[in-house]
Structure 1
Amino acid sequence: MSQEERPPSWQQRSQDVDQAMQEWRRTHPQATLAEIERAVDEQMNQLRARMIEEVAHTSPPEQAAGQRQPVKCPQCGNRMQGRGKRQRRLQTQGGQEVTLTREYQSCPQCGYSFFPPR
């Protein structure tokens, strides 16, 4: 992955939040403490969501190398089969959307299917 393709570092994103808040404060000099708190929460929730998304997409080395243990069906205990990758959109506690990509699993024995965590 080239430098241009790599997402910004968390440190860079934190600095971006700091700069955004400084600019916000310049344009809102009469803001109340509650308004400041809402503005900070909005920026931090966005940062938090990107961090959650990135951490969730990071696999430990043994998973990246394809050495995962087979997934067993929580209904009947048989081995699940991969049915291709799918995206799932979730909402964080801060109200931000996070998109996860996972291998969709289904059981050939009982038909149970799910979108497993890593």
Structure 2
Amino acid sequence: MSILSTILTYLFFIFLYSLFLGAFYFSSHMKSNVVFGYRTSSSLKSEESWKYAQKKAYKISKILFIVMAIITAISDVIFYYIEKDIEFVFEYNIVLFVIFFIALIVQVEYDLRKEFK
């Protein structure tokens, strides 16, 4: 895998994450639906829980994106110069993206349960 393909992959992940942020932001101004936004059984229970989940997911996503960007930038430089293996760096970034996505779901579900007992 070349440096160019790695850069294109990063741009794809940034685009994908931007879609998540946009979906959470714009869906907070919509009625609950099964197409857009943060959709789990707990967020779809009521209109109030839907709006709360969208706003919470948007706020947490912004924070996670900044943290993920910093960690990715630092670790990519370290891993690339130590390991000299771009494929390892790519796989590491995919795992990191999945971990942050799971962290988003766990945190929003926790906040929904706490807010709407």
Same fold (TM over 0.5): no
Higher fraction of helix:
2
Q: Which has the higher contact order (CA 8 A, sep 6+)?
A: 2
Higher fraction of strand:
1
